[in-house]
Amino acid sequence: MSWFQSSLKLITLMFSLNVVICLPQRPNIVFIVADDLGWNDVGFHGSSQIATPNIDALAYSGIILNNYYVTPVCTPSRSAIMTGKHPIHTGMQHSVLYGAEPRGLPLSEKILPEYLKELGYRTHAVGKWHLGSYKKEYTPIYRGFDSHFGFWTGHQDYNDHTANETGMWGLDFRRNMDIASEYHGRYSTDLFTEEAVRIIDEHSKDRPLFLYLAHAAVHSANPYNALPAPDSLIASLVNVTDYYRRRFAGMLTKLDDSVGQVVEAIRRKGMLHDTIIVFTTDNGGPAAGFNLNAASNWPFRGVKNTLWEGGVRGVGLVWSPLLKNSSRVSDQMMHISDWLPTLLSAAKAKDRIPESIDGIDMWQSLNHGTVSHRTFVLHNIDDIYNVSALTIGDWKLVKGSTYNGQWDGWYGPSGRDEDLHYNVDAVMKSSAGKAVSAFSKALNPTNMLNLRNLAEVKCNFSRETESACLPMVSPCLFNIKLDPCEFNNVASLHANIVTRLQEEIQKLNETAGPSCQ
């Protein structure tokens, strides 16, 4: 090798090292989505019926998002996570995708793993997709993920991994593009947990990790075994007397265990100090037999696929040692579409946030506890169902009702029986609790119970309504800060506010694209 070639090689090496040194240190991101989890299904919102110690540990040592909104059903929420756009701007605003439908999240949309991959992230998806699969180009590994292990449709049996949909029934379990029939008989939540832990264990820390863990739990399965969980676990949950709620509790317990195992794997890998963990539901819970399920949104009104708070006020939290102002309950208004810009900002890529999205960068607001820049939440406009709802500040307008108002009530259980005990020791001794204790002193009984009290929404069920709410007849108006349970329709008292919110809905609807049907 000549002197010139040696010198050139040395200069190239030095330049490469300089480039590596100058690259910003980006945090690992672990994004966990629970399916159909209701507001009242977690312990940190005040219910003592079903123990969720690992989720609660993250909540108490992170930020509890108490004014956080999702969309009413699954596909729209997942599209909002991935694009940072409201579903009316991606054609995903109406209902959910079925496996044989020739539609999906438009390929023209750049999605979260594609942004992160450009920043050097290794990107992995585990679990549910539900954003289209009728062509391979719509599936995860063609949309920015390095790998995917899970299923493409909206639900599956947790043991045989088949999806029973309208007029169709078949196996839906894959590793990347290959059918994975060898996992028959293994419980889905366990499989997804094992895969997530394997990815973390094998991750090379020279690049940041983006792990999107979208569980099937606690969505109901196929009708022949709608709420599957191990029999021994179900039998042990003696505090839950209702048969269906007990089976639901078994599914939720497995989900909570999964969260603990994933957090412990991150700790064991030595990555917890620079990791952001998001935990969110995709929509409100299907309560009282809706979708053959037994979730609880108490004390909120409505269920999944309604625009009442029970359908759109979501369970959410964010945990990270990078957050300066944590171990608190946040009343900052936030929407599920905000995650994309917020995570890009946290990944030191604020300049990559596109101006065309609806989501708002919440990182600095969350980090410092300052006022949210979000002033309104569009819950949805669905011209097929003829329903819409919008919150601006403290005022929420609801127009129309799904299911002809059949699911417009309030559904328990409350989980606040005097005989039930909230076990703070279990939170501290949980896998997640022990893992995060090195970064936070928040997990002490006094602090946890105080945060739990602050996070609990309390409503006076004895109050008389100003006037009946019949949203299929005329719009209903609520002061959602004073009346989060939507008892008191005050539309007749504030006609000017009703007019203003209707005008805003119309303006937003003028920007909507057609629903992809």
For the annotated catalytic residues, the residue numbers are 74, 130
Residue 117 exposed, middle or buried by CB count within 10 Å (0-12, 13-18, 19+): middle
- Residue carrying structure tokens 């909206």: 154
**What is the number of residues in the chain?**
517
Cis peptide, bond prior to residue 218, ω within 30 of zero = yes
Contact, 229 vs 221, CB < 8 A? Answer: no
DSSP secondary structure letters along 123-147: EEEEEE--S--SSGGGSGGGTT-SE
End-to-end CA distance of the chain: 64
Distance CA 240, CA 443 (A): 26
Q: 352: which 2 tokens?
A: 């990559």
Measure the CA–CA gap between 298 and 415, rounded to whole angstroms: 9
Rounded Cα distance, 376 and 397, in Å: 12
Q: Are 380 and 93 in contact (CB under 8 A)?
A: yes
Q: In 351-417, which ranges are E strands?
A: 376-382, 387-392, 395-399
Among 451, 258, 34, residue whose Cα is nearest residue 440 = 451
Alpha carbon distances (Å) from 403 to 305, 339, 410, 463, 467: 9, 30, 15, 26, 22
Instruction: Select from 343, 338, 261, 323 the least CA-distant residue to 61.
Output: 323
The Cα 108–Cα 90 span in angstroms is 9
- Are the CB atoms for 88 and 79 separated by under 8 Å? no
Give me the phi and psi of 37, to 5 degrees please: -80, 125
CB 250, CB 230: distance < 8 Å: yes
Query: Residues 395, 313, 166, CA angle at the centre, nearest 5°?
Result: 120
Helix (H) or strand (E) holding 259: helix 243-268
Tell me the C-alpha distance between 459 and 200, whole Å.
Answer: 42
Across 8-66, the runs of DSSP E, i.e. the strands, are 28-34, 63-65
